[in-house]
């Protein structure tokens, strides 16, 4: 009888353990550099989902990555389950443009949109770069080939008739290096596509070398949006950077940060994550300043890849579609 009890107890332990393992699915969310906004926004999603782990049996973890282009490729290869992607790169990847020319990423699925990311041009004050065309002849970091910020910069230059190969000294450093490069006088300005406030931009504007934001003229923004409809008008909030030379918000343009998934991620997983965030939106917004202006409605904007069926199911139930 003793051995029977031991056998039954062992069987109960094994089946219980297997049940927990089977029910608790681990999901990895790709973000961006730890000094940017993608990483803490990914952590915010992580916090909301894991607070309800007992309810939906999903545990998320956050991974720092090289950003949007990397995330798209990692999603379609199955190396990530969900990831943050700029709305313009979501469009290009799904349609097979630019870095994905001739290779549309047809497994890419949209889940929801997040904060607006403003294309932010930071310049050394002593370089006398006040507006876009003042960049000519200067050393400007556009970001690495394939990066979101480089793509955003080149789109702008196309509309503004600026040749990045001839009109300026274009650099291709990682965006996280830009602040140190600017303060070290190795570059005159840099592009950074970011939600605000941003750590790197703060560092660039609070160093001993004074810095200012560079305005993008309204007529160029209007034409940019006409040619590339995934952009929208935006402004750089000077108030969150007390040491910057600008005293008022600076006109620019922007894209949306979006959460994407692979079509291979089960509908039930994406449904549970979407529901967790939308039904706890007040708590979610409080986790980072970049999320403060989110609404249920604007979280469905900027999504050019097809909706993941799990997200679509929730939106229909919630009356959002």
Mean pLDDT for each 10-residue chunk of the chain (321 residues)? 44 44 80 90 97 93 92 95 94 91 95 94 97 96 86 95 96 92 98 90 96 97 91 92 97 95 97 98 95 93 93 98 92
Euclidean distance between CA atoms 250 and 4, whole angstroms: 76
pLDDT for the residue 20: 42
DSSP assignment letter at 230: T
Q: Which helix (H) or strand (E) holds 312?
A: helix 309-317
Topology match between the domains 2-116+257-317 and 117-255 = yes
In this prediction the pTM is 0.76
Q: Is there a contact between 122 and 202 (Cβ–Cβ < 8 Å)?
A: no
pLDDT for the residue 24: 72
Euclidean distance between CA atoms 204 and 193, whole angstroms: 14
Q: Is there a contact between 244 and 212 (Cβ–Cβ < 8 Å)?
A: yes
Q: Is there a contact between 91 and 105 (Cβ–Cβ < 8 Å)?
A: no
pLDDT for the residue 174: 86
Cis ω before 93 (30° cut-off from 0): no
Q: Any idea where the domains of the chain sit in the sequence?
A: 2-116+257-317, 117-255
pLDDT for the residue 16: 45
Give the CATH number of domain 117-255: 3.40.190.10
Give me the CATH topology for the region 2-116+257-317: D-Maltodextrin-Binding Protein; domain 2 (3.40.190)
Enter the tokens of residue 158. 């196309």
Alpha-carbon Rg for the chain, nearest whole angstrom, is 22
């Amino acid at each position: 009888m003793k051995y029977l009890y031991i056998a039954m107890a062992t069987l109960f332990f094994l089946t219980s353990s297997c049940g927990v393992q089977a029910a608790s699915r681990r999901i990895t969310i790709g973000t961006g550099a730890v000094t940017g906004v993608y990483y803490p926004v990914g952590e915010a999603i992580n916090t909301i989902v894991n607070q309800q782990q007992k309810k939906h049996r999903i545990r998320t973890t956050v991974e720092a990555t090289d950003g949007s282009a990397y995330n798209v490729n990692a999603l379609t290869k199955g190396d990530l389950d969900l990831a943050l992607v700029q709305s313009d790169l979501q469009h290009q990847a799904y349609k097979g443009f630019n870095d994905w020319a001739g290779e549309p990423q047809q497994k890419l699925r949209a889940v929801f949109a997040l904060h607006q990311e403003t294309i932010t041009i930071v310049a050394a004050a002593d370089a006398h770069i006040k507006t876009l065309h003042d960049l000519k002849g200067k050393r400007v970091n556009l970001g690495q080939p394939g990066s979101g910020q480089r793509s955003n910069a080149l789109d702008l230059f196309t509309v503004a008739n600026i040749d990045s190969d001839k009109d300026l000294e274009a650099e291709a450093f990682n965006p996280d290096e830009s602040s140190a490069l600017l303060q070290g006088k190795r570059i005159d300005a840099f592009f950074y596509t970011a939600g605000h406030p941003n750590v790197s931009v703060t560092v660039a504007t609070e160093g001993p070398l004074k810095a200012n934001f560079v305005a993008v003229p309204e007529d160029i923004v209007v034409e940019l949006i006409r040619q590339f409809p995934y952009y929208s008008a935006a402004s750089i909030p000077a108030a969150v950077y007390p040491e910057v030379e600008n005293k008022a918000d600076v006109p620019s343009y922007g894209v949306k940060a979006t959460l994407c998934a692979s079509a291979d991620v089960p509908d039930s997983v994406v449904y549970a994550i979407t529901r967790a965030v939308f039904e706890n939106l007040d708590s979610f917004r409080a986790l980072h300043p970049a999320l403060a202006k989110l609404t249920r409605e604007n979280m469905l904007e900027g999504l050019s890849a097809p909706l993941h069926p799990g997200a679509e199911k929730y939106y229909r139930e919630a009356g959002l579609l």
